[in-house]
Structure 1
Amino acid sequence: MLTGELVRLRALEPSDAESLYRWVHDDEVGQWMNNDHPLSLDQLRKRGEDRKTNTYGLVVLGIEAVADDKLIGVIDLRDARPEEGRAELDIYLGEKDYWDGGYGTEALKLMCRYGFNVMRLHLIALWVVAENERARHVYRKVGFVEDGRHRECFRGNDGKYHDMYLMSLLEGELKD
């Protein structure tokens, strides 16, 4: 486990399916997420039971609040290849009561440190919808910079297309 003052990152358990189900069915939580086709709670439980072991190419961790041991979100590093030294990051906090207070910022820092120190990555990249200013603020705060803009490439829950920013963080740029 990776532990900070506010959060710990841990492997997901099949019992986490109830939280995941609630989050993906919450329009506010899922506003800027690409979701699969709708899944039942039983299908999410099965997915959790069949989840493959974390590997270099895909590390998926639950974000748990230290104070109450409550699962509040998910973070991952994916598409990592040692010969390239880069990976893409995804994060979301499903528990809206934890959207403020530094939980996402600390989870992001813990995962980036893991990527740079343990996985020996040189670059971590992510995509964020242009209108998701809350997330963009957190990414900039920890050191991510905007590399480019991809026009109208994300179709939101509102049925409209939105621009997305590609952001990246190089080894050594993570802000404390």
Structure 2
Amino acid sequence: MIRGTSVRLRAMGAEDAESLWRWNHDPEVMRWMENPHPQTLSQVRDRLAARAANAYDDLLLGVEALADGVLIGLVALREAAPEKGIASLDIYLGEKEYWGRGHATDAMRTVCRYGFGDMRLHKIELTVVTENHAARRVYEKVGFMEEGRLRRCFRRDGQWYDRYAMGLFPDELR
């Protein structure tokens, strides 16, 4: 487990399927994310059970609140390659009652520290829909900087939105 100030990051498994299934079927949680096609709880459980062990190129961690041990979200570093030293980051908190308490910021800092320290990454990247102001504030708080704009690449409710491409180097982590 990887411990932050208010969260703990740990490997996810089939026992986490119910939470993941519930979050992925909550329109408010999924508002600014690519929605997976609907799946049954059994399909989500099977997918998590069949998932390969965490590895350098595909790290999936559950985010638990330290105060009560509740699984509140997930974070992933993916597409990392040692020769590039760059990984893409995904994060979301599915338990809405934990939103706005600093857990996402702590999870971001914690996974970035792990990526730069233990994985020896040179850079961590992400994209965020321009209208997802709350997520962007979290990313900027941690030190991510806008590097570009991907135009009209995300569709929601019949409208196309842009995404910001953001990046973070080890010396920028706050």
Q: TM-score range by the shorter chain?
A: over 0.9
State how many pairs are aligned: 174
If the length of structure 1 is used for normalisation, what is the TM-score? 0.97
- Identity score, percent: 56
Distance 1:134 1:61 in 2: 21
Would you say the 8 A contact 2:24–2:36 is kept in 1? no
Aligned residue in 1 for 2:172: 173
Matches within 5 A, 1:77-156: 77-156=77-156
For residues 34-61 of structure 1, the C-alpha deviation after alignment (integer angstroms, 9 at most, x for no partner) is 1221110000010111111001101000
**Cα distance, 1:13 vs structure 2:** 1.9
Distance 2:168 2:117 in 1: 14
Q: Which runs of 4+ in 1 moved over 2 A?
A: none
If the length of structure 2 is used for normalisation, what is the TM-score? 0.98
Distance 1:75 1:167 in 2: 16
Amino acid at match of 1:168: G
| Structure 1: tracts of 5 or more residues without a match | none
Would you say the 8 A contact 2:8–2:66 is kept in 1? yes
Amino acid at match of 2:29: V
SS in 2 for 1:42: helix
**Cα distance, 1:171 vs structure 2:** 1.6
For residues 92-131 of structure 1, the C-alpha deviation after alignment (integer angstroms, 9 at most, x for no partner) is 0000111111100000000000100011001000000000
Amino acid at match of 1:39: Q
| Structure 2: tracts of 5 or more residues without a match | none
Distance 1:172 1:65 in 2: 27
Please report the RMSD computed on the Cα atoms of aligned residues, expressed in angstroms: 0.7
SS in 2 for 1:83: coil
Distance 2:108 2:165 in 1: 16
Aligned residue in 1 for 2:162: 163
Distance 2:166 2:60 in 1: 20
Q: Structure 1 residues 13-22 or 124-133, which shifts more?
A: 13-22
